[in-house]
Amino acid sequence: MSRNPSWPEAAPGSGDSGHGSLASSDAPWGIGYWHRLRNWLQRPRSPRTLVLCLGVYLALACNWPLFGELMNIGGGQRSEYLPNLLLMGLLVACGNVALLSLFAWSRWMKPLWMAVVLIAAVSQHYVATYGVVMDPSMLANATQTDMNEVRDLLNWRLLLNVLLVATLPAVVIWHARFSRQSFFAQLWRNVLLFVAAAAVAAGGVLAMNRDFAPLMRNHTKLRYMTNPLAPIYSATTVGARALFSHKRQLIPVSGGAALGASYAAQARPPLFVVVVGETARADHFGLNGYQRDTTRDLAARNVLSWRKVQSCGTSTLASVPCMFSPLGKAGFESANDDYENLTDVLQAAGLAVFWLDNQPGGCKGVCDRIPHASAFAGLDPVTKDALCPSGDECLDEVMLRGLDARIEALSPERRQRGVVLLMHQMGSHGPAYYLRSSRSSKRFMPECRVNVLSDCSHDELINAFDNTIVYTDQFLGKTIDWLKARSDHYDTAMLYVGDHGESLGEFGLFLHGMPYSVAPEAQKHVPWVMWFSDGMRSRDKLSLGCVQGGLDKPLTHDNLYHTVLGTMDVQSPSYKASLDALADCRGKG
């Protein structure tokens, strides 16, 4: 049989059949090119070649939020931002190469290299989508995240962004083959690569130190936008703290706690509800001058609203333990041991204290030594259908259901003295704001109904968040009504304070958790609202006129501990009248 002259000659040694023939030009279009590429990828190489390429790739493909921030700082002027952008790109690439050089050994490192790629891809998604930074506090918050919060953060854009970044390096890493070298030959070459990367980075910094040092000093969040260096550093820091920190001891502060003189001849015991809000912004409360009427129910109940209140932190993990601590923000953050908190002092004084949680993250250790429960536990099917539309998460009103029975279950002897009930809201927790408001509270429409907040218009996002404030307003109004209905048996009062605020697209930021030193005011300015029954005002001899005259007085979370002790007339060596928001107005009513 004669050969068709139009057929190409087979390459020497390729054979007439098998996989080798697929690399020839008679293969279907594209397949031959793929096999040539695969053969090229599978050529034996040094692991250092791969990590060098991978480090540069990650610097270019996973740092767009960082580069964008540098351009914003430069004001859009190329002469201002281009040198810093080039230097930062060089530093991130050198840092990536130096990090990966520690693991440039053999094919057994492939899972670790791929893990670094996935970390970089996921980190870039969240930094770009929500404007967060990957500092140690953010990673610590991530370790406290439960599955409901994880669900809110998962979406198709995350999958797409990860695939866009990770597919190419995954193909390269999967097909990579490495030449054999002795251990010591690889060791000195890895050390040389590390030193070379560090030297190049140091040279770049020295060459531009005059401009670069002020940039990093004035914009500290840039260091936590370097990817994947920042998330790896922060995760390592959090892990090291957990593994190597000394065993923290519990330091008692409840010694000497006792009930004050008002209990000696009381006609009714006090019932004080303290509501810990979640992710509420004080500047979105109509009570505080917001242009929208988001707090209609509270306004109708003549509450007191302080307008200048600063949180202890920008996340629940940071704020909640701090706001209940006797140490204040500075002391709490510098403490090497754990201290008893407000709930311990109230209980030591002889009061009935109970913590009720509708926040899946829990009480962050505050309620560990007092009676506590989840509002979701033990609900009847009717209540679940009405208040738990997602099945595993409930609207805050669920905390008012069965509340009398929860109080009746506390010690009768303690109840006769007084009750402090602490309720921890789900509040305005994002990014799924639309899940945090009831149908009746959706006053502002249309609202953002997706988890990728940048996909919504700014108006839709604000509508969704403001609806959560309306719902909180309704919940607090119902809480006050619940207290009024029990004023025949108790002297009642309520205090509501937010744990931290929230960014809603200002400066390109969303959600919360920024480092406190660089966090915007929106993440630190929180609401503080109080209500008193006539019986509680008389008990405390509280002058409402005096209090109303001081609603613009600056407060912080440091004031909470002492204000609650003062309101409940609990004597304690840890009490400081100077930090009690109501001290100057007692004895004047």
Per-residue pLDDT reduced to its tens digit, 200-228 = 999 988 888 777 777 877 787 888 899 99
Give residue 450's Cα distance to chain centre: 18
Residue indicated by tokens 């509708």: 358
Q: Comparing C-alpha atoms, which of 301, 286, 365 is closest to residue 332?
A: 365
Tokens in use for 342?
């407000």
Strand segments, DSSP code E, in 253-379 are 258-259, 270-277, 304-306, 309-310, 338-339, 352-357, 372-374
Task: Give the integer Cα–Cα distance in Å for 426 and 376.
Answer: 12
Residue pair 97/51 in contact by the 8 Å Cβ criterion:
yes
Query: Could you identify the residue written with the tokens 């690439």?
Result: 93
Calpha distance 97→80 (Å, rounded)? 27
Q: How far is CA 235 from CA 82, 122, 364, 514, 587, in A?
A: 30, 14, 20, 16, 52
149-158, 307-316, 530-539: the lowest-pLDDT one: 149-158
- Cα 117 from Cα 548, distance rounded (Å): 56
Encoded tokens for 43 = 């050529």
- Give the chain's mean pLDDT: 89
Q: Quickly state the pLDDT bin for 360 (edges 50, 70, 90).
A: confident
Distance CA 186, CA 176 (A): 17
User: What pairing do the DSSP bridges indicate for beta strands 258-259 and 570-571?
Assistant: antiparallel
What pLDDT is stored for residue 26 in this prediction?
A: 53
The residues near 440 (Cβ < 8 Å, ≥ 6 apart) are 474
State which amino acid sits at residue 111: P
Estimate the crossing angle of helix 183-207 against helix 78-101, to 10 degrees: 160
| pLDDT reading at 383 higher than 70 | yes
Instruction: Report which of residues 466 and 151 the model is more confident about.
Output: 466
Helix residue ranges, H only, 388-499: 403-408, 412-417, 458-484
For the whole model, what pTM was predicted?
A: 0.78
* CA 74 to chain CA centroid, nearest Å: 28
User: Which residues sit opposite 458 in a β-bridge?
Assistant: none
What domains are defined for the chain? Answer: 19-244 (no CATH), 267-585 (3.40.720.10)
Residue 11 identity (one-letter amino acid): A
Non-local (6+) Cβ contacts of 200 within 8 A are 90, 94
Name the residue with higher pLDDT: 572 or 11.
572
**Residue 291: its pLDDT value, please?**
97
**One-character DSSP codes across 219-230:** -GGGGGSSTTHH
- Write the pLDDT tens digit of every residue in 105-152: 887 899 999 999 999 999 999 998 888 888 888 888 777 776 677 777
pLDDT given for residue 12 in this prediction = 39
In whole angstroms, give the CA distance from residue 424 to residue 403: 14
Q: What average pLDDT does the segment 529-545 reach?
A: 95
| Percent of the chain with pLDDT strictly greater than 70 | 93
d(CA 125, CA 123): 5
- Is 485 exposed, middle or buried (CB count within 10 Å of its CB: 0-12, 13-18, 19+)? exposed
Q: Look up residue 551 and give its amino acid.
A: L
> What is the spatial distance between Cα 283 and Cα 307, in angstroms, rounded to a whole number?
8
Which secondary-structure segment (H or E) carries 498?
strand 491-498
- What distance in Å separates the CA atoms of residue 453 and residue 460, rounded to the nearest whole number? 9
Biggest alpha carbon–alpha carbon distance for the chain: 119
Exposure b/e, 368-380, CB count within 10 A at least 16 = b? ebbbbebbbeebe
* DSSP H helical ranges for 131-264: 136-143, 147-153, 156-175, 183-207, 209-218, 229-244
pLDDT (tens digit per residue) in 75-93: 767 777 788 889 999 999 9
User: What confidence score (pLDDT) does residue 446 get?
Assistant: 97
